Amino acid sequence: MADQHALQTAMHQNYTAFKAILPELMKTHAGMFALMRDGQIVQFFNSDAGAMAYGDESFEDGVFSILEISDQLVEPELPEATPSEASADRPGEVSDRPEPAAPEIIVPRAIVFASQKGGAGKTTLCGHVAVQAELAGAGPVALVDTDPQGSLAEWWNSREAETPLFVKTHFADLGRDLNALGERNIKLVFIDTPPAVTDTIREVVGYADLVVIPTRPSPHDLRAVGATVDIVEDQNKQMIFAVNAATARARITGESAVALSQHGTVAPVTIHQRVDFATSMIDGRTVMEMNPESRSAQEIIGLWEYIATQLAKVERRVPERRVESRPYEGTEQRQVDRGPAFGRRVGARTFGKRVAR
């Protein structure tokens, strides 16, 4: 068995590490018990008795901690050290040796690209901005594809570069995978989402620090934005609009930005429709890697710089329990008045207003 001083130090290390990752654990393992050793989670259990039995069997020295994953975090009582254990030098004196520092646990920031309308350019923007973040030194960066179609995965598999890291996951496993990425010191995670699948988008947005909503400058795209905005607002997440695939010097581009600005923050950088974006997606490259001096590359650079400034303003996620959100489909669909429609006179059908069928 370990002496009291070693046990006290180990328990403090486990508690400090557990407290740092508790917000993420609450999303995936609320109500369970974590068996910890050396500041790392060994395994999850449904009961403290099961965790204790496993710990006693696995660690003969008894140096482990069992902590409940709850929003009512209670600091465990540390065992008192005897005078001989409290001092490593002379009896009766407390050692002035500093306690070992708790391991630094990085909680990666999650940037989710979401749009319920297909063809908005989520996958292209997600991959490009993630690569630019890595090139700008903001990494390590990881890409996560939650779209069953796997377009982002296919693009990444064509890349010669090993960065960013790529993770193919199911939305139900996203919380666990984000924790694993944090253990690998990943700082930023860019997540692509499927179109139209409301429940999946809502689940993924729940993990976001920032949501980017790509929107083409067209009436159909603008009317479809409202559904995605409802999900983001329902999850109380920060969001920005990114005008994508715009035609140069087209009046509709400016009108789209004005219409979107009435309902949220619009990125000041517009991404224009150019052939090099499509070409880059064929062989796993980006426009920055093909021609860093091109206009397309400069637009992506500008978009990433703006996203970085917005991300810096977002506070770290706080622990909170998930709540069941009201459905968004069928007769249960909410109707939200979002003001004058794009390209329509006041009094016409509202921008983003969804009508139950």
The residue extents of the domains of the chain are 4-70, 109-320
Nearest to 102 by CA among 40, 35, 177, 42: 40
Q: Where are the beta strands (DSSP E) in the chain?
A: 33-37, 40-45, 65-68, 109-113, 141-145, 165-168, 188-192, 210-215, 239-243, 265-266
| The two three-digit tokens of residue 267, written as one number | 């990125």
Residues whose CB falls within 8 Å of the CB of residue 347, separated by 6 or more in sequence, listed in order? none
Give me the pLDDT at residue 99, please: 59
Flag whether the pTM goes above 0.85: no
Q: Which residues in 47-57 are b (16+ Cβ under 10 Å) and which e? A: eeeebeebbee
Instruction: State the average pLDDT over residues 23-36.
Output: 84
Tell me the C-alpha distance between 199 and 205, whole Å.
Answer: 10
Length of the chain in residues, anyone? Answer: 357
- Residue 334's pLDDT band (boundaries 50, 70, 90)? very low
Tell me the C-alpha distance between 165 and 44, whole Å.
Answer: 26
Match 């500008």 to its residue by tokens: 302
Least confidently predicted of 19-23, 50-54, 222-226:
50-54
Tell me the C-alpha distance between 255 and 204, whole Å.
Answer: 30
- Residue 126's pLDDT band (boundaries 50, 70, 90)? very high
336 with 225: CB under 8 angstroms? no
Tell me the C-alpha distance between 298 and 349, whole Å.
Answer: 37
Give me the pLDDT at residue 322, please: 39
Tell me the C-alpha distance between 7 and 65, whole Å.
Answer: 10
CATH number of 109-320: 3.40.50.300
